[in-house]
Amino acid sequence: MPAAVCLQNVHKVYNDVAVVNDLSLNIEAGEVFGLLGPNGAGKSTTIRMATTLTRPSDGHVVVAGYDVNRQQLDVRRQIGVVLQQTSVDGDMSVWENMEFHGRMHHIPNPQRRTTIDTWLDYVELSDRRDDKVKTLSGGMKRRLQIARALLHNPKILFLDEPTVGLDPQARRRLWEIIRGLNQQGMTMLLTTHYMEEVEYLCDRIGILDQGKLIELGTLQDFRQRHGQGIVMTQKGDRWDYKFFPTLEAANAYLDQQPDKTGMMTRPSNLEDIFVELTGRNLD
């Protein structure tokens, strides 16, 4: 089966600065792929190129079998996009936002109304269908964006920091919606600043830094490559981290230390590996 999203040697240059630099990766059909990186690493630019909003400076991007430069309309029919910025119309009702989007995609009646009902029910907004969007909470607005993005039955969903600014309860509800969609076969590309979000949702992870892909694989791949155990040592107001192949090896190292003050061991996690690779925290 061909990849759902294929990027080959992709570059994006703004004012002689390479924002994305020779990026190559495949996202397989049916997987949730997490794209991580510090601010300015090129995550949003990558999504903008894959969704036809920005043209690559060089390289090839193929989405659902269509070239993003030559077949933009075909690509747009196959994808749903939820950008970080709230893009629903606050002065229109929930139903009116969905109806307008359905008409833009030329979805005929009665299919359009039936589909709107289906997705509003799925994101638990049926009881707010007649309310102005500006009266909704941030989590409800994001759920509406997801429902709207799914209205034309896309094959691939792009989510650019979909839970940013939401409270933990709203974030968890969106996680369940995203996971449920994936269980139905939806392919997704997700960027986020929440490590636990990636650990919970993503099948594979790519880490971008300064426009380059510096790591690719599953969380287990990362832990096997960089170490599954950590010894933490407190140095003033900060911690130093030392990776070991296993937690047992980390414990053995700690046992050998004559002074264990300010030292502890624990399993490594995605944030540890991210900081090790990039030299800084995600946010």
Query: In this structure, is residue 282 part of a structural domain?
Result: no
Question: Are residue 177 and residue 234 in the same domain, yes or no?
Answer: no
Sign of the Cα torsion 131, 133, 139, 145 reads positive
- Summarize pLDDT for 38-74 with one digit per residue, the tens: 888 999 999 999 999 999 999 999 999 999 999 999 9
In a domain, 30, yes or no: yes
Which of 203, 220, 237 is the C-terminal boundary of a domain?
220
Find the domain containing 127 and state its range: 5-220
Per-residue pLDDT of 114-144, as tens digits, reads: 999 999 999 999 999 999 999 999 889 989 9
From 202, 220, 238, the end of a domain falls on 220
At which residue do the structure tokens 């155990």 appear? 229
Pair of tokens at residue 86: 């709230």
Query: Which stretch of DSSP H or E encloses residue 91?
Result: none
Amino acid of residue 159: L
Distance CA 266, CA 248 (A): 10
Structure confidence at residue 226 (pLDDT): 94
Examine the domain organization and report whether 118 and 242 are in the same domain. Answer: no
Q: Is 241 in the same domain as 127?
A: no
- Domain-located, residue 272: no
Same domain? 206 vs 236: no
Burial class (CB in 10 A: 0-12, 13-18, 19+), 109: exposed
Residues 19 and 149 in one domain: yes
Query: What CATH number is attached to the domain comprising 10?
Result: 3.40.50.300
Does residue 139 sit in the same domain as residue 203? yes
Indicate whether 39 and 119 sit together in one domain: yes
Q: For 187-241, how does the pLDDT look when each residue is reduced to its tens digit (9 = 90+)?
A: 999 998 889 999 999 999 999 999 999 999 999 999 999 999 999 999 888 888 9
258 within a domain of the structure (yes/no): yes
Q: Is residue 16 part of a domain?
A: yes
Cis peptide before 110 (omega within 30 of 0): yes
Are 231 and 267 spatial neighbours (Cβ–Cβ below 8 Å)?
no
Question: Are residues 215 and 85 both part of a single domain?
Answer: yes
Within a domain: residue 119?
Answer: yes
- The verdict on residue 57 lying in a domain is yes
Domains identified in the chain, total number: 2
> 207 and 67, same structural domain?
yes
Say what the pLDDT of residue 85 is.
79
CB 189 within 8 A of CB 33: yes
Cβ count near 199 (within 10 Å): 14
Same domain assignment for residues 168 and 192 = yes
**CB contact at 8 A, 156 and 2:** no
The answer to whether the CB of 36 falls within 8 A of the CB of 213 is: no
- Beta-carbon contacts of 66 under 8 Å, excluding residues fewer than 6 positions away, are 74, 75, 78
pLDDT tens for each residue of 241-267: 999 999 999 999 999 999 989 999 999
Is the CB of residue 19 less than 8 Å from the CB of residue 45? yes
216 and 234 housed in the same domain: no
Domain assignment of residue 68, yes or no: yes
- Full-model pTM: 0.90
Q: Are residues 120 and 79 in the same domain?
A: yes
Predicted confidence band of residue 280 (pLDDT cuts 50, 70, 90):
low
Helix/strand/coil for 260: coil
Handedness of CA 151, 154, 158, 163 (dihedral sign): positive
Among 165, 185, 220, identify where a domain stops.
220
Question: Tens digit of pLDDT for each residue in 142-189?
Answer: 899 999 999 999 999 999 988 888 888 888 998 999 999 999 999 999
Question: What pLDDT shows up at residue 253?
Answer: 95
